[in-house]
Structure 1
Amino acid sequence: MGACMSCGVVGTSDANSASAIIAMALKGSQVLKIDGYSRTKGLGSGKFIKSEPFDIGGHLWCIRYYPDGQTEESAGWIEFYLQLNHNNARRVDASYMFSLLDNVGEPVPPYCLSDGVIRTFNNSSYAWGYKKFIERKALEESDYLKDDCFRVRCHVTVSKEIRTEVTSQFVTVPPSDMNQHIGSVLSSGVEADVTFQVGEETIAAHRVVLAARSPVFMAELLGPMKERKSHVRIDDMEPRVFKAMLHFIYTDALPEMDKGDTDAMAQHLLVAADRYDLERLKLMCKHKLCECISTSMWTTLVLAEQRGCKGLTETCFRFLKSPSNLKTIMDDDRFQHLTTSCPSLPNELLANVAR
């Protein structure tokens, strides 16, 4: 949680007291149903409707619903904000995520918004949330508005510390940093026992780590022919993509990506994850692609079809149900490429949009 703490010890020369501090997080969520959506429009920019209070982590919260946006700039958008609802807590540190729900209660990927930052809430009227959560027009043309109703979920994670008295020396239990230690083994190359020739680069790694994470590497590096696999050539992958995959294998996290390269890297990594049977990496790449679906529509759709990613394909189809989105995408030259590379997709696309 990034908090730095110190403790003063008071006692005699032969007796000390100490504490162990364990940082914990309390989580919960609240589903807000907007029933009678059409009657909330026209309330005016900056005006909101407040939900009933709900308890998460021992604190009362409420959700502010702005049907016409918080400012004139966002007048055509719907916005949601989270507010601490009671006055007996001076400050609460928490992170949050707002998700639009489909008709079966599942989050809709393009509208699952979280910056992952722990925010400080206090007893003032200030609230944290998202500008331009969803455009009114997009909601009204979607399947998520049904019988003049739609639902959003607010997931809240409250930071909390529990102090337990002990009689030993002072101990602070930090978050796990195992991924950093294992990641440093990769970057240092210490005791590496297998190398990969990827393009013009030679990359060293540890066969036991790769085999533990990937059944494909397990067969290649620890199978019957393992004595022949101390050097492996990879001809159909860029070095930066292979390194990003290794970073995930050693740390269970995606590497930092340039904003302009996120969708392309996610696409390449999805192919690599499929090849080496890294299911968690595939899911993380799908999530990244869902977040930037508007900027990489056609390449993402083709990739989803080729790799059998049904959920990602359905996300693309949902995006195209908006007439404005569909017109923009079909005017793109890449639509003609789609008819050549995946002949079945245009018909399937048009059939889904028609439904």
Structure 2
Amino acid sequence: MSTKKSGAADVQSSPSSCSTIVVTEASGHHVLKIDGYTRTTMMVATGEHLDSGEFHVGGYAWHLRYYPNGYDQEFSSSISFALVRTAGAGDNVRLHARAKISLLDLAGEPVARYSQPVDKCSTSKASDPWVCKSFIERDELEKSGHVVGDRLAVRCDLTFNVQDRLVRELVAVPPPLLRRHIGELLGDARTSDVRFKVGGETFPAHRCVLAARSPVFRAELLGPMREHAATTIRVDDMDAAVFAALLRFVYTDELPELDGGSVAAMAQHLLVAADRYDMERLKKVCEDKMVRHLDVGTAATSLALAEQHDCPELKKAILRFMASPARLKAVMASDGYEHLVTSFPSIATEILAMFAAH
């Protein structure tokens, strides 16, 4: 029986495939408010910057850099800004973006005359900033009428293309609610298991929350030296309003809103409390507020606290603030200066040397 050979090789069919490249446009904006504009120009040198809070556009994290005395010496008479991508999925991807910085008027609207696009809007590294070196001359800004009460605001508008190789159905995920839920326990006497007596007021609290936020509270409330039967603990040498603000930070990671005149005083008291309970973030928050509300009336007291509670960055900022001869003389005439030089003679030596140099 004969076999029949095929005249051509059998052809196997290949499976078909398909992929989709989806390019969408992401856009958003961030408003940066600068409170204490004059102080920023005095305390930040040319080429140095202050960072905005982090904001998110298109799945990436960004922040603005504010250069009150210019990006470099060439632009030292200007205010400069830089836009930096700090994090995001696929940080090595090249983004083609359009960015614009605008000065805002009192109604929060961009001022067309002071809106400037950022020219260099492509980068291959997350660390490469997009820089607006000559946003506005400081003299022109101060005469523009848009700096009111030593405050101004700018807005960064950002638009760029986002490439995604897969089309996905997204599920809306609610924002984290843990901080809000913990915050709702603040002052809840029904669930509290400890009370603090401070300045004639009583504050209900929760041992586990306090222990999680402060190693000192943990040792006092849960450690081997705790008083097992104690349900009320007396706190001496602290004002009730200060302890209330401390508890608010413990439960919410935020401080209560304060009036302009009371911010510096409350920050000073809270710095002492933060050091007492070893709460490093609260300590830094207080240092920041003390610097932002620094004046000749608070400089000496703040400097004493910086030395007493080991705050080298705060000390450096205050000494820099006092570098002006006129300001230094005003500080030396303030009520707190005598206490400063009596308690910390070494600081007095530093100040006198600085004064002699001028």
d(CA) in 1 for partners of 2:248, 2:273:
13
Which secondary structure state, in structure 1, belongs to the residue aligned with residue 184 of structure 2?
Answer: helix
Change (3 A) 1:281 1:333: closer
What residue in structure 1 maps to residue 105 of structure 2? none
Q: Which amino acid aligns with 1:266?
A: A
Percent identity, aligned pairs only, is 40
d(CA) in 2 for partners of 1:114, 1:173:
35
Q: Give the conservation status (yes or no) of the 8 Å contact 1:55–1:61.
A: no
Tell me which of 48, 54, 69 is aligned to 2:139. Answer: 69
Which secondary structure state, in structure 2, belongs to the residue aligned with residue 187 of structure 1?
Answer: coil
What residue in structure 2 maps to residue 8 of structure 1? none
What residue in structure 1 maps to residue 309 of structure 2? 307
Task: Report the alpha carbon displacement of residue 291 of structure 1 after superposing the two structures with TM.
Answer: 0.9
d(CA) in 1 for partners of 2:156, 2:115:
21
What residue in structure 2 maps to residue 194 of structure 1? 194
Q: Give the conservation status (yes or no) of the 8 Å contact 1:270–1:282.
A: yes
Change (3 A) 1:290 1:54: farther
What residue in structure 2 maps to residue 27 of structure 1? 62
Q: Give the conservation status (yes or no) of the 8 Å contact 2:214–2:277.
A: yes
Q: Give the conservation status (yes or no) of the 8 Å contact 2:71–2:133.
A: no
Change (3 A) 1:230 1:261: same
**How high is the TM-score relative to the length of structure 1?**
0.60
What residue in structure 2 maps to residue 15 of structure 1? none
1:224-269, Cα deviation, whole Å (9 max, x unpaired): 2341332110121111111111111111222222221111111111
1:264-298, Cα deviation, whole Å (9 max, x unpaired): 11111100000001011111111111111225211
Task: Report the alpha carbon displacement of residue 60 of structure 1 after superposing the two structures with TM.
Answer: 6.6
Task: Report the alpha carbon displacement of residue 180 of structure 1 after superposing the two structures with TM.
Answer: 1.3
Q: Give the conservation status (yes or no) of the 8 Å contact 2:193–2:205.
A: yes
Which secondary structure state, in structure 2, belongs to the residue aligned with residue 66 of structure 1?
Answer: strand
Task: Report the alpha carbon displacement of residue 354 of structure 1 after superposing the two structures with TM.
Answer: 5.1
Tell me which of 120, 139, 142 is aligned to 1:53. Answer: 120
d(CA) in 1 for partners of 2:195, 2:152:
38
Change (3 A) 1:336 1:253: same
d(CA) in 1 for partners of 2:299, 2:117:
36
What residue in structure 2 maps to residue 319 of structure 1? 321
Change (3 A) 1:26 1:271: same
Which secondary structure state, in structure 2, belongs to the residue aligned with residue 263 of structure 1?
Answer: helix
Change (3 A) 1:36 1:25: closer
1:72-110, Cα deviation, whole Å (9 max, x unpaired): 6379xxx9xxxxxxxxxxxxxxxxxxxxxxxxxxxxxxx
Gaps of 5+ in 2: 1-27, 29-56, 79-112
Task: Report the alpha carbon displacement of residue 171 of structure 1 after superposing the two structures with TM.
Answer: 4.2
Task: Report the alpha carbon displacement of residue 36 of structure 1 after superposing the two structures with TM.
Answer: 4.1
1:113-166, Cα deviation, whole Å (9 max, x unpaired): 997x9x46389xxxxxxxxxxxxxxxxxxxxxxxxxxxxxxxxxx9x9x9x965
Q: Which amino acid aligns with 1:292?
A: H
Change (3 A) 1:281 1:114: farther
d(CA) in 1 for partners of 2:231, 2:303:
37
**How high is the TM-score relative to the length of structure 2?**
0.59
Change (3 A) 1:52 1:324: farther
Highest relative contact order (Cα 8 Å, sep 6+), 1 or 2? 1
- Further displaced range: 231-240 or 320-329: 320-329
Tell me which of 344, 347, 350 is aligned to 2:346. Answer: 344
1:172-221, Cα deviation, whole Å (9 max, x unpaired): 22332321110101133341000001111111000011111111111111
Q: Give the conservation status (yes or no) of the 8 Å contact 2:187–2:203.
A: no
Task: Report the alpha carbon displacement of residue 328 of structure 1 after superposing the two structures with TM.
Answer: 2.3
Which secondary structure state, in structure 2, belongs to the residue aligned with residue 204 of structure 1?
Answer: strand
Aligned-residue CA RMSD (Å): 4.1
d(CA) in 2 for partners of 1:333, 1:300:
12
Q: Which amino acid aligns with 1:53?
A: K
Q: Which amino acid aligns with 1:314?
A: K
Q: Give the conservation status (yes or no) of the 8 Å contact 1:221–1:229.
A: no
Q: Which amino acid aligns with 1:280?
A: R
1:2-31, Cα deviation, whole Å (9 max, x unpaired): x9xxxxxxxxxxxxxxxxxx9845315668
What residue in structure 2 maps to residue 128 of structure 1? none
Which secondary structure state, in structure 1, belongs to the residue aligned with residue 257 of structure 2?
Answer: coil
What residue in structure 2 maps to residue 233 of structure 1? 234
What residue in structure 2 maps to residue 290 of structure 1? 291
- Higher Rg of the two aligned structures: 2
Change (3 A) 1:317 1:60: closer
